[in-house]
Amino acid sequence: MTKSTTILRQLLAGSEPIRAPGVVDCIGARIVAKEGFEAIYMTGAGTTASRLGWPDVGLLTMTEMADNAQRIAEASGLPVVADADTGYGGPLNVQRTVRAYERAGVAALHIEDQCWPKRCGHLDGKTLIPVDVMVSHIRAACDARHDQDFVVIARTDAIAVEGFEAALERAKRYEEAGADVLFVEAPRDMTQLATIPKHLKKPSLFNMAASGKTPFLSVEEIKALGFKLILYPNFMMLAAIPAMHKVLQELKRTGSVKGLVNEVASFQDFFNLLGMDDVKALEEKYLTNEESRVRY
């Protein structure tokens, strides 16, 4: 079986952009796989929301992120691109992060040049580490991987702090330091978006965030600009929020869930999504006759 890192490398070498919808848990992971997407993204903002109920201001630890990434990799079976924030410290911490993510079965991670504790890339109030420090983090990350196909994505948050020119310059430096994919966070307009992939030799990442700071473009438009990897970090989670409110409001209003039955996934669909057929096949293979008789 081809490793997920190799699959991601092959996808990056192809002509079509890779679409990686963002998820926070295994339900999302199963849905992305079922819908036939070629890759999946673990969002840090979403993981923080899911595990702590807090906003994305650098509160989760590396071990919590790696644990979540491992579950998503396992449940989706897809190449996982995972948010690794700043790498969680100095170059030694970055190396520990890369190894932990590699062991988790992740195919790519992105590390960024913010000071710790970081903030969501589309929030105000970000601060940056010096460019040479970030360059050493990238070098440390690339050296740490055991699997040479593991993809190191360098992200710069510099547009909001130092301006677009400085961000491009940083991306260039990170590319020279060995990063495989470049992620210039939160571009503001079409001119900036058109400039990024042209300025770099290696593949560029497009982050289709929900904040509105980056224009909402179609896959075709993003492809035409020259981006190779597209993240949709939070749309699935954001879609679930009004749906969950609706269930609870309906319950409060009518005192029953009856009116919702046709709007939610059926019990059958839910178990199908989670691979009940696979479980049944395993039971047929391994249960003793007596166990099967008692159970069914």
Partner 1 sequence: MSKAKILRNQLAASDMLIAPGAYDAIGAKLIEQAGFPLVYMTGAGTSASLGYPDYGLLTMSEMVEKAGILARSVQVPVICDADTGYGNELNMIRTVREFESRGVAGIHIEDQVMPKRCGHLDNKEIEPLEKYVSKLRAAVDARQDPDFLIIARTDSRASLGFEEAIRRGNAALEAGADLIFIEAPQTMEEVQAIPRLINGPCLLNVVQGGKTPEINLKDAQSMGFKVSILPGILLRAAVNIFDQVLDSVKKEHTVPAFLNNATPHQNFRRFGADQWDELRRCYASESQSAVKENQ
Judged by the rule CB under 8 A, the positions of this chain that interact with partner 1 are 52, 57-59, 61-64, 88-90, 92-93, 96, 116-117
Backbone angles phi, psi at 285, to 5 degrees: -75, -35
- Closest to partner 1 by CB, 27 vs 57, is 57
Q: How far is CA 125 from CA 22, 114, 115, 120, 121, in A?
A: 24, 11, 11, 10, 10
How far apart are the C-alpha atoms of 38 and 91, rounded to whole Å?
A: 31
- Closest to partner 1 by CB, 87 vs 121, is 87
Number of H helices, E strands in the chain: 14, 8
- Closest to partner 1 by CB, 115 vs 273, is 115
Positions marked catalytic = 41, 56, 83, 85, 110, 112, 120, 155, 185, 207
Query: Which two tokens mark 289?
Result: 């006759």
Is residue 6 exposed (0-12), middle (13-18) or buried (19+ Cβ within 10 Å)? middle
**Nearest-approach distance from CB 116 to partner 1, in angstroms:** 6
- Closest to partner 1 by CB, 96 vs 202, is 96
Backbone angles phi, psi at 231, to 5 degrees: -100, 140
Q: How far is CA 161 from CA 31, 135, 158, 177, 233, in A?
A: 37, 18, 5, 22, 22
Which of 75, 73, 78 lies closest to 103 in space, CA to CA?
73
Which of 161, 190, 158 lies closest to 171 in space, CA to CA?
158
- Closest to partner 1 by CB, 99 vs 199, is 99
- Closest to partner 1 by CB, 83 vs 180, is 83
Place of tokens 């260039």: 172
The phi-psi region of residue 84 (left if phi > 0; otherwise alpha if psi is between -120 and 50; otherwise beta) is alpha
DSSP result, 187-238 = --SHHHHHHHHHH-SS-BEEE--SSSSS----HHHHHHHT--EEEE-SHHHH
